[in-house]
Amino acid sequence: MPVYSKMNRVILGAGACAAGHAFVSPFMHSSLQVQQASDPVEYKPPSSASGISIAATSVGMVALATRLAFRGARPRSSQKAQMQAETQAFDGWSHCRQHKTELLETVKALTMPGKGILAMDESSGTCGLRLQSVGVENTEENRQKWRQTLLGTKDLGKHCGGAILFTETLYQKTTDGKLMVDLAKENGIIPGIKVDTGLVALVGGKEGENWCRGLDDLKERTTDFYVTGARFAKWRTTVRVKDHSALAVSEAAHGLAQYASICQSSGLVPIIEPEILLDGEHSIDECAETFEEVWSAVFKACADFGVQLEAVLLKPSMVTHGAQSGQSVDPTTVASYTLRALNRVVPPAVPGIMFLSGGQSEIEATLNLNAMNQKPNPWHISFSYARALQNTTLKTYAGKDENIVAAQAKLLARAMANSKAQLGKYDPATADEDATAAEGMYVKGYTY
């Protein structure tokens, strides 16, 4: 039985008496009126509504007294536990608590001033197509030599804080038996890993739409990638500008958010990449509208999955006209549209935005990045380029050992140009650019 305090007993008793009086009074006073009809002073009994009002108030007093009584009777240990539970702050890091410090350190290293990311995560098939374009056969040995050339570029880590690798490269060794991961680390480059397993047709979507696979065994794979040396990851999915379905947007957001949460739980910083495709005849305004629609859905999904935004990087496309639109704009316009869209949908908690080049020429990608860094931004605005870093380098290399040093010099020069662009200090008038740097590299329906 609960032990009531003296005050609680008084309140409870008063409330009970008042309640009883309220319900009885209308009838009692009616009786008095009949008995005292000859009384010179007319008596006006309270209305039944007044009685009900008094009763309701009284019942409230009873309820209050009961609550106070039982609260007072609760054991002190129970009270303390409840107070602690109520005041304990929500821990959004619970899914990756053991990796929190390292995740934040990785993000910090990847977003140092002047640094971006080298994307070299092309699949064996796509890498082979690149090599074949310069007359090199697609074999594992040739892919090994090409990737070793990239990661072994001296001082590359001063401009590229990380490199996204394909699975083959993560486990691959150099020609002299050193792990590619160790080669990258020695050069000041943090190894990253592509974890999606490719695009397939989206059932229920519109013709030509895709969704990205790879979630089923992602936890097991990311755990192993972390042990192997990777510290960040990338997942790419795509949405077209015109005639896209709500399902395509929803599926892209869901897949990216779940991937990001799983990666954080395994100690990998997730790069979120919903690429708004350059393919099409759309205008720059239509591109901006789709950009905002998709990114809004992505961040809503990230909130649903408990993704900690302080430990993610974003890899968007730039807001531009469609490749088949026949229109073009200057870097200032691209920067204006892109930054406006980012400011509308990307929370400032996100530390870095690393743009993909999307088939732009090397110079075009650098100029657009430079234009976006002409004034301070809430985020580290930088690059995560593949073709826009590798094109001139690959053509210089051409699969010949005697060209490796010259090819690495081209890569370093391209990385330095983009490093300056990240700082807003790239000047094309003083840049020594190769003719190949102006070549457009758009490929319709491009796949990695």
Per-residue pLDDT tens over the stretch 195-230: 999 999 999 999 999 999 999 999 999 999 999 999
Q: Pick the catalytic residue from 115, 194, 234, 315.
A: 315
Task: Rank 5-9, 30-34, 394-398, 430-434 by mean pLDDT and report only the highest.
Answer: 394-398
Is it the case that residue 423 has pLDDT exceeding 90? yes
Is it the case that residue 44 has pLDDT exceeding 50? no
> Can you give the residue ranges of every domain in the chain?
6-87, 95-438
Exposed/middle/buried for residue 190 (C-beta within 10 Å: 0-12, 13-18, 19+): buried
pLDDT confidence of residue 305? 97
pLDDT confidence of residue 432? 73
Report the alpha-carbon distance of residue 195 to residue 215 in Å, rounded: 9
pLDDT in tens, 340-396: 999 999 999 999 999 999 888 999 999 999 999 999 999 999 999 999 999 999 999
Is it the case that residue 17 has pLDDT exceeding 50? no
Mean pLDDT (the chain, rounded): 85
Q: Pick the catalytic residue from 122, 251, 273, 275.
A: 273
What tokens appear for 338 in the block? 């892109």
pLDDT in tens, 56-87: 444 454 444 445 444 444 556 666 666 565 55
Is it the case that residue 7 has pLDDT exceeding 90? no
pTM exceeds 0.85, yes or no: no
In whole angstroms, how far apart are CA 392 and each of 63, 130, 139, 318, 349? 80, 12, 21, 22, 36
Tell the residue number behind the tokens 């590229």, with chain if given: 160
Any idea which architecture 95-438 has in CATH?
Alpha-Beta Barrel (3.20)
Is it the case that residue 4 has pLDDT exceeding 60? no
Clarify whether 315 is annotated catalytic. yes
Which of 149, 163, 137, 159 lies closest to 386, judged by CA? 163
Instruction: Please report, as a single letter, which amino acid is at residue 103.
Output: L
For the four alpha carbons of 437, 440, 441 and 446, in that order, the dihedral sign comes to positive
Clarify whether 273 is annotated catalytic. yes
